[in-house]
Amino acid sequence: MTVSDTKFDVNGSAIKELAEILNTTGLSEIEYEDQGCRIRVAKSSGVMMSSHMVPAPVGHTAAPAVHAPAVSHAKESGAKALPAGHIVRSPMVGTAYLASEPGAANFVKPGDRVNAGQTLLIIEAMKVMNPIKATQSGVVREVIVVDAAPVEFDEPLIVIE
């Protein structure tokens, strides 16, 4: 399916926000997916550009999860292997928070039973708190991310078995 085969409204404000994230974080590119549409913004020769925007495959959620990464991430290199299970990955760049506010109990901890759609953590991006929800039911095996830590797109956050 190509872009011309689907009706895709370009969200200029989303592209501007993504470009601002690139400027403030020093990243060279960022990709964001929402409601089946994926936007990728990258720096090239010091100029911001939006490369092709292709609708994501049907069935993806706002918090994509992948079992085994095809390419290891910088933070994962040299680290222990991820446990087997469903890996919930970051859908955006931001700061991860494990609780709704400082001092509050974490949304989930290892051993907790979660249901699909249940909030696992929140990621703050551009002063907006984005709930990251479980994409499947199961038991939390590991919380990989640390509270108040910066996260990158596609970074492993939580393992559900």
* Lowest mean pLDDT, pick from 36-40, 90-94, 96-100: 36-40
Cα 107 to chain center, whole Å?
17
Please give the residue range of the domain that contains residue 42: 3-55
* Residues 102-146 pLDDT 10s: 999 999 999 999 999 999 999 999 989 999 999 999 999 999 999
- On whether residue 24 sits in a domain, the answer given is yes
Mean pLDDT on 65-87: 56
Share of the chain above pLDDT 90, in %: 45
Of the two residues 57 and 87, the one the predictor is more confident about is 87
Same domain, 34 and 97: no
pLDDT of residue 80: 61
Please report whether residue 105 resides in a domain: yes
Report how many domains make up the chain.
Answer: 2
CB 139 within 8 A of CB 114: yes
Instruction: Give the mean pLDDT of 144-154.
Output: 94
Region of residue 141 (left: phi > 0; alpha: psi -120 to 50; beta: else): alpha
